Amino acid sequence: MNTDPTILQYFEFEFVQRALISALVVGLCAPAVGVFLVQKRLALIGDGLGHIALTGVAIGFLTGAAPLWTTLAVTVAASVVMELLRSHSKTSGDVALAMMFYGGIAGGVYLTGIASDKGVANLQQYLFGSLLTASWNEVWTIVAGGAVVAALMLVLRPWLTAICADEQYARVSGLPVAALNLLLLITTAVTVSVSMRAVGLLLVSALLVIPVVTVQQFTRSFKATMFSAMGAGFLIAGAGVIASAAKDVPPGSTIVLLGVAAFVATALAAAVVRRLRRTRRGHLPPEGEPLEVELPASSA
Amino acid sequence: MPVLNVLGATVSYGGRAVVRGVDLAVAPGEAVALMGANGSGKSTLIKAVAGLVPLAGGTIELFGAPQKRFRDWKRVGYVPQRTGAASGVPSTAAEVVSQGRLAHRLLGMPARRADRDAVARSLAEVGLEAHAHCSVDTLSGGQQQRVLIARALATEPDLLIMDEPTVGVDAETQAALAAVVADRIDAGCAVLLVTHELGPLTDRLDRAVVLADGRVVHDGAPPRPVGEHADPAHQHAHPHANGTGGEGTDDYWGGR
C-alpha cells in the first residue's frame, strides 16, 4: 500500500490540519440542526439561507468588513423575516420565501459587481468553499460557533422536537412555540454563515440534510437519529477533506459527493434489508388489530 | 367554577362565520360530547377552545381565567384530529408521549423520574407498553391514535380535549379507549370530545351539545342510537376510515 504514507503526509501541512478541524466541526454540528429542519419539512431552508448569505458576503466585500460577520448579520435578519412571514401569512408565505431567495442571489451578484476591484475573484471561494485558505482565526470562529450551536440543539432537543413534529400540539401545551421557531431559524442562519468556509454557500444545505436522511433509514428513535447523523456528518466531512486534498479540488464538492454516495448506498442497503426481513419472517399484520369486516360465511 | 366556559363564541374563516355565538360550559369532572354533521363547526369550536384559531367574538375562560391570560396549559390534555403520529424523522412511541410532559419541565432541564413514570404509565394505560420503543410510523393507524391519546394523558390533565379520537379506530380499540377515558372521568377529569358517531366512548357521557351550521341546537342528554344504529352489531361505514394518513374532515370545512 503506497497510499497510506501519502495521506499521512497531508497532515503535516498546517492548511490541511486547519481544513480538517473546521470540516469536522461543521460535519458534527450541521446535522444537529438539520435533524429538526428535516422533521419540520424545511429541508431546503439551508439552501435558501445560503442564497441570501451571498448578499452578506458581497456587503463584506463592499465595506471591507469581514465577510463572516456581514453574512451572519444578513442571514440572521433574513431568518427573522422568514419566521415572521411563515407564522403571519398563510397563502403567500411560499412566494415571499422565493422572492427572498432569488433577491438574495441577485443582490449578492449586483453588490459584488459594484465592488468588482476586489470581489469577483473571491466570490467563488464562498460559493464552493475554500477550507484550504482559511486562517487559524477563522478555524477558531468555526469551532466556537459550532460548540454553541451543538450545545443549544442538544439541550433543547425535546422542545424543538415537539414544535417540529406537531406545532399545534406544542402550542396547546403552552410551549413558547414562536420563540423556539425563531431560535431554530437563527441557529440555521449561524450554521450556514459559519460553515460557508467549509462547504461553500451553495452546498451548505447538503451537510444539514444528507447525514440525517442517510441514517434515518436505519434508526427508530429521534435521539438515535440525531446522534448518528452527527457521527455520519463527522465522517463524511473528514473523508471529504482528505479526498479533496488528495485530488486538489474544492472540499465542498467532495464532501457533498461522498454524502450523496453514502445516502444512495444506505438506501439500497435498507431496501435489501427490508426485503430480506419480509421474506424471512413472512409479513405478519400487527397484533391486536382485528379485521373490521365480517368475512362472509363460506357457502360450501 | 366551570373548567371551561365559552360565551357567545364566534369564529370566522375569511369573513364567513363558521361558529356563531356558541355558549358552552363544562363543569369539573363532566364529560361532554360536541356533535354535529361535517361542517357544523364542531372542530373549529374545539380548536378555538384550544387556542389554535382566534375568536372573532365572545370569550373563552379556562379554569376561570380568560384564555389570553391562561398560562396553566399543563392542566389541559389535547388530542388533535387524526393526522397520524408519524413525521419526517423517526420517533419512538415513548418519545411522542414524552412531549406531553414538556409543559411540566423547565426549558432545557432534563426529564425527572416523575416525567418518565408518567410516560410509562400512559403507554401502559392505552396498552402500548410493549411498543414504547417502536418507531411510530411502523405502528398501525389505531395504535398511532392510541399514542396521541397517551400523550394527552401523560400531561395528567384536568380537562381532556379530544377531536374525533375514534375516527378510523377499530371497535375493540374504541372500547379499550373508552375504558381509559372513563377511568379519567371517574378520577375527576373533565372531558370535551368531538365526535360524530355514537360508540363505546359516548356511553359514559353526561351531556351532548349538538351544533348545526355553527349554532347550538341541542344541549342536554346525549342522543340515543335509534333504528339500525341501536343494534350493537351495526357496522358504521366510514369513507375516510383506515385511510393512508393525512385525511380528516378538515377538507369539508375549508382548511385547518
Domains and CATH numbers, chain B: 29-40+73-220 (3.40.50.300)
Name the percent of chain B lying above pLDDT 70: 85
CB contact under 8 A, B50 and A176: no
Return the CATH fold of A7-281. ABC transporter involved in vitamin B12 uptake, BtuC (1.10.3470)
Select from A91, A152, A166, A274 the residue whose CB has the most chain B CBs within 10 Å, as the one to mutate to test that interface.
Answer: A166
Q: What is the pLDDT of residues B123-148, one digit of tens each?
A: 998 888 899 898 888 888 888 888 99
The beta strands (E) that lie in A148-294 are given as none
**Any chain B CB within 8 A of the CB of A40?**
yes
Would you kindly state where each structural domain of chain A is located, as residue ranges? Answer: 7-281
Query: Consecutive 10-residue runs of chain A (300 residues): their mean pLDDT?
Result: 59 81 91 92 85 89 84 91 77 72 88 70 74 78 91 94 89 91 92 83 86 92 94 93 83 90 93 80 51 52
Select from B62, B72, B87, B89 the residue whose CB has the most chain A CBs within 10 Å, as the one to mutate to test that interface.
Answer: B89
**Separation of CA A162 from chain center:** 20
Select from A289, A291, A293 the residue whose CB has the most chain B CBs within 10 Å, as the one to mutate to test that interface.
Answer: A289
Question: What pTM was estimated for this model as a whole?
Answer: 0.84
Alpha-carbon gap, residue A189 to A207, rounded angstroms:
14
Residues of A in contact with B139 (CB under 8 A): 286
- Please provide the distance, in angstroms rounded to a whole number, between the alpha carbons at the two ends of chain A: 74
Query: Residue A290 has which C-alpha cell?
Result: 382485528
Alpha-carbon gap, residue A145 to A140, rounded angstroms:
8
Q: What is the pLDDT of residues B31-43, one digit of tens each?
A: 998 988 888 888 8
pLDDT for the residue numbered A1 = 43
CB contact under 8 A, A169 and B108: no
What is the least distance, in Å, from the CA of B216 to any CA of chain A?
Answer: 25
User: Which ranges constitute the DSSP H helices of B99-234?
Assistant: 113-125, 141-154, 171-186
pLDDT for the residue numbered A195 = 83
Look at residue B179 and tell me whether its pLDDT is greater than 80: yes
pLDDT for the residue numbered A152 = 94
Q: How many beta-carbon contacts under 8 Å exist across A and B?
A: 115
Range in A59-63, A110-114, B104-108, B196-200 with the lowest mean pLDDT? B196-200
Nearest to B135 among A220, A292, A293 (CB): A220
Rounded to 5°, angle at Cα B27 from B23 and B28: 150
